[in-house]
A and B are shown apart, each in its own frame.
Chain A
Amino acid sequence: MSEAVVARASGLGFAYRPGDFAVRNLDLELRRGEVFGLLGRNGAGKTTTVRLLTTLLPPTEGTGELFGRDLRHCGRAERQRIGVVLQSESLDFVTVERNLTLYAFLWSVPREAAKSRAEEMLELFELDHVRHRKPWALSGGERRRFQVARELMHDMELLFLDEPTVGLDALTRKRILAYLARRARAGLSIVFTTHILHEADELCDRIGILQGGRLRATGAPADLKRGYRGSRFVEAEFDRPVTVEEGRDLDAMLARKNPEYTEVARGPTRIEFRAPDAEGLVAELAGWASSRGLKLLRIAVREPTLEEAFVGLVADGAGLEDDGAEAA
């Protein structure tokens, strides 16, 4: 494993019972200083992947490495270099402040350093006003902030965050993401699972999309979006409502020209299509509008959002339509 790679999985899998795989055939490389997002629907295998890579679960197939050492043989030396914010809340039955310093004590952080870091974390995660409360008396958002703050009490090279921003308001989320981005720029590698896709788009250098325990796609957010069914979106707005007859004519014309043009939305004066050949579709729409005496007020080509790419990928794999309905 090169110095640039902090963790690697090759055909990695885990079955809770024989044949019942939660994760299967996972091929993955996590690089130093990168933020890697793991996306997937509920039950896609994100948490199991985190548990495998943090050595909490032993792989039942394939191989994996953490800092160059086989996951099956990893021990304290490797785990000392990682941090893990679990999806489930974990806490000690002491005050918020003492939780932070006690956790630092468990990680052998010197007492003075622990005290000053606790102050920094209490301020950064806006927990100063609840420092003397017990964690279970905090609000949902405060408890989540507390989880992240506590993990950052010790030094690490690779941080696993399993849905760290669940239940956080937008401002707090932005603040935490900005902090994580700063830490990543300083060399910290981060593995990040989330359901909030624009957050992953904003923070992650690369993203892996899990479905049914298998990695369906990996790449930079921009690449995933570009690779979304090889398509882009074309939005057109006309100066007057399109009649039913004109609509039928448009559908027939587009189906003749290219059956891969897929309607995404249609309003009285506005239509949106997904098209592998966006420029071609623009030309067809312009020509058709002119032949029908419709004036085009606006026509635009845009890249798919990460959410559209994600929904498209996952829907393709699960036999679902984009809107989430079961395919007939």
Chain B
Amino acid sequence: MKLPPVLRLLARNFESNLDVITLIVMFGQPAFLIVVLGTMFTPIVGNLGTGENYTSFLVPGMIASQMITGAVLAGRIFWLDRRWSMVEQLFSGPFRRYEYLAALLLTTLTFALVGVGIMAVVALPLVGLPLLSPVELLLILGTIGLGAIFFGGLLIAIGSRIRSANLYFTIQSVLQYFLVFVSTVYYPVTSKTPFALRAIVYANPLTYAANTVRDAFTHHFGPGDAVAAGVLGGLSAVTFTLAVLAFRRLDFGPVQ
């Protein structure tokens, strides 16, 4: 049986460009942070005014941040494919450009969801996990999926315009750290947060995702979460379009 092109590319993405050590580090790092940051900060921070301890606050944030982990891995695959001329090779073969892009975004999505599962497994013995309704579960996965497409599309669009590996990975790291640290993944926004910083935090799509996961965990899902999912959907559509446009004009010249 002939598999559809997107699935063939997806299978290749999983097999070809990722080594076990990279995967362990990419997924191990957030798991490590849940354990270490949770353990170290919980006695200092105490409860966050909501009755929950810091680890309980951190876990939904780390789950939401998996959208970035997935996107970083897909961006890495794309960059390596460019560096080793596989993009050119595949485009001259039986694949359409949008199929390659779709396979990359599916890869992003899959890695993000695998990351969610790993974070949940790590969190379970530490803080337990709430019993989620199907709607809440769907909301979490949908939000993270959209976030993964947003960030993945952004990285692919950037990666298709850059010819230097150093520059690409620098931009990726800066974006990754900026989005993670200027969001509500590690800390809540309070009345004491400076206005400018608060504005940036609330403009950050990762904040919507972290807040939505948190709301679902505490069963406080409200209209704001639906709006956040809508905005995230819109942003994902924008970066997806950017990636499609970048692919149309992709320069096959040498990269280093």
**Residues of A in contact with B (beta carbons under 8 Å apart):** 51, 54-57, 75-76, 79-80, 82, 84, 86, 88-94, 98, 102, 105-108
- The answer to whether B84 and A91 have CB atoms under 8 Å apart is yes
A127 CB to closest chain B CB (Å) equals: 18
| Residue contact A106 to B15, C-beta cutoff 8 Å | no
22 contacts between A and B (CB under 8 A): A57-B252, A82-B92, A84-B89, A84-B93, A86-B92, A88-B85, A88-B88, A90-B84, A90-B85, A90-B86, A90-B88, A93-B80, A94-B15, A102-B12, A105-B12, A106-B8, A106-B12, A106-B90, A106-B94, A106-B95, A107-B94, A108-B3
Who on chain A is nearest to B8 by CB?
Answer: A106
CB-based contact B254/A92 at 8 Å:
no
Contact of B93 (CB < 8 Å), options: A88, A89, A92, A107: A107
Q: How far is the CA of A76 from the CA of B214 in the complex (A)?
A: 45
By a CB distance below 8 angstroms, the chain B residues around A91 are: 84, 86
**With a CB–CB cut-off of 8 A, which chain A residues contact B166?**
none
Which of these, A89, A94, A102, contacts B85 with CB under 8 Å?
Answer: A89
Q: Which residues of B contact A102 (CB under 8 A)?
A: 12, 15-16
- Which residues of the other chain, A, contact B177 by a CB distance below 8 angstroms? none
Given contacts A80-B94, A92-B84, 16 further A-B contacts (CB under 8 A): A75-B96, A76-B94, A76-B95, A79-B92, A80-B93, A88-B88, A90-B84, A90-B86, A92-B12, A92-B15, A92-B86, A93-B17, A94-B15, A98-B15, A106-B94, A108-B3
The residue that B92 contacts in the complex, of A54, A93, A108, with Cβ under 8 A, is A54
CB distance from B221 to the nearest CB of A (A): 42
Residues of B in contact with A, size category: 20 to 34
CB pair B96–A76 under 8 Å, yes or no, is yes
- Taking beta carbons and an 8 Å cutoff, which residues of B are in contact with A? 2-3, 5, 8-9, 11-12, 15-19, 80, 84-86, 88-96, 252, 254
Describe A's contact surface by its main secondary structure.
loop
Q: How far is the CB of B143 from chain A (nearest CB, A)?
A: 32
Number of A-B contacts (CB under 8 A): 71
**Closest CB pairs A-B (n = 3):** A90-B85, A92-B16, A90-B89
Contacts A51-B252, A108-B2: A56 and B91 contacting too (C-beta < 8 A)? yes
Task: Kindly list chain A residues whose C-beta atoms are within 8 Å of the C-beta of B2.
Answer: 108
Partner of A88, one of B5, B12, B19, B254: B254
CA distance A94 to B11 in the complex (A): 13
Residues in B with CB closer than 8 Å to A105 are 8, 11-12
Beyond A92-B16, A102-B15, A108-B8, whether A79 also contacts B94 by CB under 8 A is yes
Give bound CA distance, A57 to B85, whole Å.
15
A55 touches B92 (CB 8 A): yes
Whether A86 contacts B94 in the complex (CB less than 8 A), given A105-B11, A105-B12, A106-B12, comes out as no
Q: What residues on A are CB-neighbors of B9 within 8 Å?
A: 106
- CB-defined contacts of B8 to chain A, threshold 8 Å: 105-106, 108
